[in-house]
Amino acid sequence: AVIIMPGRPETLVYSLFYAESYRKAGVNVLVLDTRAHGKSDGKYHGCGYMERFDIFAACHWLKQSKGIDKVILHGICVGSSSCIHAAADPSCPSNVVGLVTDGAYTTFYETLWRRIRRNSKINPLTCVAYFRSRIKKLYGYDIKKDGPLYRMKDIKVKTLMMASQEDIFSLPEKTKILYSELPDSIGKKMV
């Protein structure tokens, strides 16, 4: 099976873009609404850090309820961060055998800064600083000093990383940096 994690602020409907390709390949598909999105519970999004626990629960459910022994994690943007955090965590369920990222970023801090600077008249420094302190207070997670960049070396499953030359928020050169941090021994590819 594959678990597809959408980007922020999308809902699971956005993930259906990839779902059909997996279905045609004979892979079961589970798409999730992340915390505080779509029909999911939650008041606050966890920037990919907290959502790893939701991925763990889905992996356990797939194994216990459906007997699925092999799970691929596929994330889009912040969903990639969720999947990277999950795959790199020592508590990652043993049925996770692969990772696919699309539009991964190095840290949420960096991508949030880029998004606010590009899309609004709000001072990015003030807004990002507030968001950083709020997430740190809620989850103990520092969006500037932690994130996918700091987790790549701990991934132990085959990994495919995708990047688009047209992506203006999750820049392809950042995907290249993340890719270079992956262990060579796992079997990795970047497109």
More confident position, 150 or 169: 150
**Per-residue confidence (pLDDT) for residue 179, from 0 to 100:** 97
Angle at the Cα of 101 from the Cα atoms of 118 and 28, rounded to 5 degrees: 130
pLDDT at 9: 67
Question: How many other CB atoms are found less than 10 A from the CB of residue 50?
Answer: 19
Q: With bands split at pLDDT 50, 70 and 90, how would you rate the model's confidence at 24?
A: very high
Tokens of residue 131, six digits = 């968001």
Structural contact between residues 75 and 101, judged by C-beta atoms closer than 8 angstroms = yes
| pLDDT bucket at 38, cuts 50 / 70 / 90 | confident
Q: How far apart are the first and last CA of the chain?
A: 22
Rounded Cα–Cα distance for residues 155 and 100 (Å)? 12
Is residue 135 predicted with pLDDT exceeding 90? Answer: yes
Averaged pLDDT score across all residues of the chain: 91
Cβ atoms of 132 and 142 closer than 8 Å: yes
- pLDDT, one tens digit per residue, over 44-92 is 888 889 999 999 999 999 999 999 999 999 999 899 999 999 999 999 9
Residue 129 pLDDT > 70? yes
| Cα dist from 180 to 11, 13, 43, 139, whole Å | 30, 31, 35, 28
Which 3 state secondary structure label does DSSP give 58? helix
In this structure, which amino acid lies at residue 21? Answer: S
